[in-house]
Amino acid sequence: MRTPAESAGTRGRAPAASDHAAQLRAQTRRRRRETALLLTPALLWVLVAVVIPLGMIVWVSFWRADGPTLVHTFDLTTWDNVISSGAFRSLAWQTVKVVLIVLAIVATVGLLSGYFLARFVRSRRLAAMLLMLAILPFWTSYVIRIITWQPLFGNRGVLNYILTKVGILDQPADVFLYNQTAMIFAMASLYVVFVIGPVFWALSRIDDDVIAASRSLGASAWQTFWRVEFPLAKGGLVAGCFFAAIFLFGDYATEQLIGGGTNPALSGTIRAIAGSGQWPTAAALSVVLLALAAIVLGVFMKIHDLRREL
* CATH code, domain carrying 96: 1.10.3720.10
Q: Is residue 58 a part of any domain in this protein?
A: no
Q: Is residue 21 a part of any domain in this protein?
A: yes
Q: Are residues 220 and 128 in the same domain?
A: yes
- pLDDT tens digits, one per residue of 263-296: 788 988 898 888 888 899 999 999 999 999 999 9
- What is the domain extent for residue 202? 86-309
Q: Are residues 37 and 92 in the same domain?
A: no
Is residue 153 within 8 Å of 186, Cβ to Cβ?
no
Q: What's the DSSP call for residue 227?
A: I
* Dist CA 70 CA 63 (whole Å): 7
Q: Is residue 224 a part of any domain in this protein?
A: yes
Q: Is residue 290 a part of any domain in this protein?
A: yes
Q: Are residues 250 and 169 in the same domain?
A: yes
Q: Is residue 15 a part of any domain in this protein?
A: yes
Q: What is the pLDDT of residue 105?
A: 96
* Dist CA 242 CA 165 (whole Å): 42
Mean pLDDT of the region 91-116:
93
Q: Is residue 177 a part of any domain in this protein?
A: yes
pLDDT at 241 over 90: yes
> In angstroms, how far is CA 114 from the centroid of its own chain?
18
Q: Are residues 201 and 305 in the same domain?
A: yes
The percentage of residues in the chain with a pLDDT greater than 70, rounded to a whole number, is 93
> In angstroms, how far is CA 131 from the centroid of its own chain?
19
- pLDDT tens digits, one per residue of 3-49: 555 554 555 555 666 777 788 888 888 888 888 888 898 889 989 98
Cut 0.85: pTM above it: no
Rg (CA), the chain: 29
Q: Are residues 111 and 23 in the same domain?
A: no
- Specify the number of domains making up the chain: 2
280 DSSP β-pair partners:
none
- pLDDT tens digits, one per residue of 104-121: 999 999 999 999 998 888
Q: Is residue 254 a part of any domain in this protein?
A: yes
Q: Are residues 129 and 180 in the same domain?
A: yes
Please give the span between the terminal C-alpha atoms of the chain, in angstroms, as a whole number.
58
Q: Are residues 132 and 264 in the same domain?
A: yes
